[in-house]
Structure 1
Amino acid sequence: MPVPTTSCLNAARHRVRRVVLTALGGTCLACSMAAGPVTAEEAAKPLLNAPVSPVPPLFDQADIDNATAALDGIVESAMKRTGVPGVAVGVVYKDKVIYAKGFGVREVGKPGKIDPDTVFLLASVSKPIASTVVAKLVGDGVVKWDDPARTHNPAFALNDPYVSEHATIADLLSHRSGLHTGAGDLLEDLGFDRAYILSHIDQQPLDPFRTSYHYSNFGYTSGGIAAAAAAGKSWEELADEALFVPAGMATASYRHADYLAHADRAHIHRRLPDGTWDALYDRNADPQAPAGGASASLNDVLRFLRLQLANGTLDGKEIIDADALAAPRAPQVIPGSPRSVASRTGFYGFGWNVGYDDHGRVRVSHSGAFELGTATNIVFLPGEDVGVVTLTNGQPIGVAEAIGESLLDVATNGRQTVDWVGFLGQVFEQMAAAEAPEVDYTKVPANPSPARDLTSYAGSYGNGYYGPLDVSLADGGLSMTMGPEGAPTMFALSHFDGDTFSFETVGENANGLAGAIFTVGEDGKASKVVLDYYDRTGLGTFVRE
């Protein structure tokens, strides 16, 4: 799921600004103008070249020391207020890890503690890692950002011949292909693999090519897979060879099996209605690996952060060409209009959110979120040579972002000036509310129309996108199965009203009860059924076979 960018969130800060008169070296402009006319000797002096960074660093060592000293309290307070089970936080400053610490437990009710070597699911923090992998290929001359994906992966196709031919790796990694947010995600929830999903997203409708932005996991995955094909490797092999091994990221992987193999791993947790947390699920994101399937320890993500801040160099060795690495962190597309007159425009690069804070400093960031129980965040200020990584094993409620924001707030202002946990918690609650289903199937009508004889609905139905749907009658009730052959998902159907039944949605994108709306013909048999949850882009109609 997409999450608020830290560049956009800065608009909420109500803080004292530190005024820096960069061009005048701190001299009052009015006083300078009143000092009298410029002499001929002064006028003859050559103009200075523009500085490399238009905004010089505001932080010094004392600012950073003050902020990191506050981190223990910031994290402990956030955990106490929210109950999130485990957190790992690290800070890099001037190419050194100056803070790396774990808090809480790997799994509720069990004694294992979080430490800097605990492996977390990274969710969409996988995206900037993936664009760094692709940058390695760009630097080595294997691919170019503007290579059409189909040049390297002839199987790539979207729902428009022109877009299929012309969509580049850059288009896919910046979410400007026209694919809608969530395209392919529901197939993943049903258990379909990467090959099936990528071979069916050409049925998804498109918005205008290169003029629309939609955060698309499988669009992003398509870009990564095209780059891997150019290198003649699987995505997982490419990531190992291009980044993880040379960067010494020993725990990092795009294989879910590798995450499961670690004894020291953070189990994912959902927050229950009573406010407690439980490790109810696993989340295998292998189908969308470049977009969301990475796992790693805090220590290894901090190595990745050092690589970013040092422009491709780590421990004195160039891992990624600096020019190739610069493109993902440059603005490529505007995700949308500013949300209010108080907010500023943010941008998206290739797997990075790029923006500017109240002081004009460039901010580069990305969050990761699995509703089944993971929330992560990485944010850095290149001009300050500082960055923060926060990994949590709880569903996204704003804690990961709040910790990073709080650290930078204290470094900038000497104290925390905004209740980031409270503020971002409200933002995430609003996002969750916005995703509620349009029809509330928990509210059965007071006088529902009766269902027909249940045999009217039983049978086999077909759909070119989701595959077959079987509706069966057993023990006096209906159920349906759908999903990949050999491992389908079964849903119990409960009568709602007339020819409409309800079922419980499953997977990462589940949002409660949804509807199965049957259409019955003159022969008394249902001719089709629309599953409204799966019909978001008009692909949810199943026709009797």
Structure 2
Amino acid sequence: MKRGHAPLSVIVGGITILALAGCTAASEYAPRAVNFPIPSQDVVELPEGSVDVAVEELPNIVARILDESGIPGAAVTVVRDEEVLLAEGFGVRRSGEDAEIDAETVFQIASMSKPIGATVVASQVTEGVVSWETPVVEHLEGFALADPWVTEHLTIGDLYAHRSGLPLAAGDDLEDIGYDREYIIDHLRMQPLDPFRITYNYANFGMTTGAEAVSVAAGVDWATLSEQALYEPLGMASTSSRYADFLEHENRAALHTRVGDGFEPLYERMPDAQSPAGGVTTNAVDLAKWMSMVIGQGTFSGDEIATPEALLPAISPQIVSGHPAFADMRAGNYGYGFNVGVQPSGRVTISHSGAFVLGAATNFVIVPELGLGIAAITNGGPVGAAEAIVAEFLDRVQFGDATRDWLADYGLALGHYHAPAGDLVDEEAPASPAPPRPLEEYAGSWSNAYFGAAVVEVAGDGLLARLGPDGSYELDLTHWDGDVFSFVPSGENAPEGSISSATFAIGAGGETMTLDFFDTNGLGTWTRSSPG
């Protein structure tokens, strides 16, 4: 509810409408009884028994989509209110090994952590620790963004709705080179801002900042708060917001990144820095309990995690996240940590996907009108498999059959995740490049207010640049042309085939090094502080 707007409270399916308007005599707007039921919405009628039929067919759907996609394994769960209709594992935890996935196998769920974290916040709103409208600066001493007015007015809800004005993926580059949560949140002040509260830019560390304000207000770190407020009360015994806890599970799924037409377990991903936005690990059994709690408007098995009033803003539209390209196209909306949409059948859905290019893809959808939720968690990078499993199941529930080839369509939509990054992608090295300066002239210590210090050293016939808090993020710089060198970045945001430039400017006007891969928001230039 926005301050200054008259609230409207409707008891759906009942016979009472209560309308309150500020600055108007109460007697004019007293509750009035009506003698007809209030329909919730116009929706397509379900085929008879379609939920049970879809659940029965679901294992075949999963097996087919895993086979077509090449992803090694998945776990899927379906709930109706508090009844678990299915919780099952498919495939193997790690390719090349025999250990099978079951309903207890723990996965990294990437950005599906966001709605789970949002319910932690809703629990603290219920307890009166914070509200969605609480300014972040009330609890994060010294926090700032580039605009002082935005800094003063920025709320927890703004950050959970991705409407702070921070650019897309702000802070992810700092995580990639090894910085911790505290450093990243502090350096968000250097990011350029888009218009406040009218721009949707998906930002992991924006949301993480909101969660950090909540945990400070609660007087406990985020991972512990999540345990105390959500995981333990719901009996989510295998769920954690600490990567170390994930590693303690023998029954855990490995990450598999896409290589050619297949998937290989090449990487590990430790996302503690952005834990509220991407660091939850869980299994199908625990996700079933969490979805049932959301379906129950904050209550599960008689235990209240959050009041309906505290949870509703999170699962209601707060900003347009996807503007229509055509007049008859539905807009996409985002709440506080949840996507909010409408199915072709006319039913409202709340949902979220998660993806690590290094090897995870997840999706859940809840249909509140049906009291129905489904989650699919996989151990392969994002090619649309998790979304396809969920979408085909919901098609069969609502229409009796699949309406399209969801794996093919989602695969096209998510293809950008695997697109190589960097200004030298698809560029050919010059056949006759201008020679570089003597390599020693590029060596030395370089400083950058956002990324921190870098050290450039001569290494054989090229250069080695060391970045990050301890210099452990290394880039081999290979001569390209003149004062330009090439490098291959690594990490979550550098899919296979990525290649970028390092451009040195050395002269009377100053000495700078620009790493184009890190210069998306104009922050990727280092200045030499001392020669090598």
SS class of match (1:237): helix
Residue 100 of structure 1, aligned match among 66, 87, 109:
87
SS class of match (1:90): strand
Q: Distance in 1 between matches of 2:275 and 2:101?
A: 24
Q: Distance in 2 between matches of 1:235 and 1:431?
A: 28
| 8 A Cα contact 1:58 1:384, kept in partner | no
Matching of residues 419-434 of structure 1 within 5 Å: 419-430=405-416, 432-433=418-419
Whether 2:348 is the aligned partner of 1:325: answer no
Whether 2:227 is the aligned partner of 1:240: answer yes
Residues 269/325 of structure 1: CA separation in 2 closer, same or farther (3 Å cut): same
Whether 2:256 is the aligned partner of 1:269: answer yes
Residues 46/389 of structure 1: CA separation in 2 closer, same or farther (3 Å cut): closer
* 1:183 alignment counterpart: 170
* 1:336 alignment counterpart: 322
Identity %: 43
Residue 58 of structure 1, aligned match among 27, 39, 45:
45
| 8 A Cα contact 2:320 2:334, kept in partner | yes
| 8 A Cα contact 2:43 2:345, kept in partner | no
Q: Deviations over 1:388-411 (max 9, x none)?
A: 100000000100100000000111
Q: Distance in 1 between matches of 2:492 and 2:512?
A: 27
Whether 2:198 is the aligned partner of 1:214: answer no
Letter of the 2:445 partner, please give it: S
SS class of match (1:479): strand
- The TM-score, its normalising length taken from structure 1, stands at 0.88
Deviation at 1:425, TM superposition (A): 0.9
* 1:170 alignment counterpart: 157
Q: How many residues align?
A: 497
* 2:10 alignment counterpart: none
Q: Distance in 1 between matches of 2:42 and 2:114?
A: 28
Q: Compare relative contact order (CA 8 Å, sep 6+) and give the higher one, 1 or 2.
A: 1
| 8 A Cα contact 1:329 1:349, kept in partner | yes
Residue 148 of structure 1, aligned match among 130, 135, 142:
135
Letter of the 2:400 partner, please give it: G
Q: Deviations over 1:432-488 (max 9, x none)?
A: 44x743432752122222212111211111101111111101333211101013x52
Whether 2:490 is the aligned partner of 1:506: answer yes
| 8 A Cα contact 1:441 1:514, kept in partner | no
* 1:294 alignment counterpart: 280
Residue 441 of structure 2, aligned match among 456, 459, 469:
456
Matching of residues 241-390 of structure 1 within 5 Å: 241-273=228-260, 275-390=261-376
* 1:535 alignment counterpart: 519
| 8 A Cα contact 2:47 2:400, kept in partner | no
Letter of the 1:81 partner, please give it: E
Q: Distance in 1 between matches of 2:447 and 2:404?
A: 53
Letter of the 1:104 partner, please give it: G
Letter of the 1:474 partner, please give it: A
Residue 226 of structure 1, aligned match among 199, 208, 213:
213
Matching of residues 442-521 of structure 1 within 5 Å: 443-485=428-470, 488-511=472-495, 512-521=498-507
Q: Distance in 2 between matches of 1:479 and 1:336?
A: 41
* 1:410 alignment counterpart: 396
Letter of the 2:500 partner, please give it: A
Whether 2:60 is the aligned partner of 1:73: answer yes
Q: Distance in 2 between matches of 1:187 and 1:63?
A: 48
Letter of the 1:192 partner, please give it: Y
* 1:48 alignment counterpart: 36
* 2:28 alignment counterpart: none
Q: What CA RMSD, in Å, does the superposition of the two structures yield over aligned residues?
A: 1.9
| 8 A Cα contact 1:57 1:383, kept in partner | no
| 8 A Cα contact 1:156 1:222, kept in partner | no
| 8 A Cα contact 1:106 1:112, kept in partner | yes
Q: Distance in 2 between matches of 1:493 and 1:400?
A: 38
Q: Distance in 2 between matches of 1:263 and 1:430?
A: 33
Q: Distance in 2 between matches of 1:208 and 1:522?
A: 38
| 8 A Cα contact 2:82 2:289, kept in partner | no
SS class of match (2:391): helix
Q: Distance in 2 between matches of 1:233 and 1:57?
A: 46
SS class of match (1:192): coil
Q: Distance in 1 between matches of 2:417 and 2:173?
A: 19
Letter of the 1:443 partner, please give it: E
344-353 or 421-430, which deviates more: 421-430
SS class of match (2:527): strand
SS class of match (1:517): strand
Letter of the 1:504 partner, please give it: V
242-251 or 452-461, which deviates more: 452-461
Deviation at 1:311, TM superposition (A): 1.0
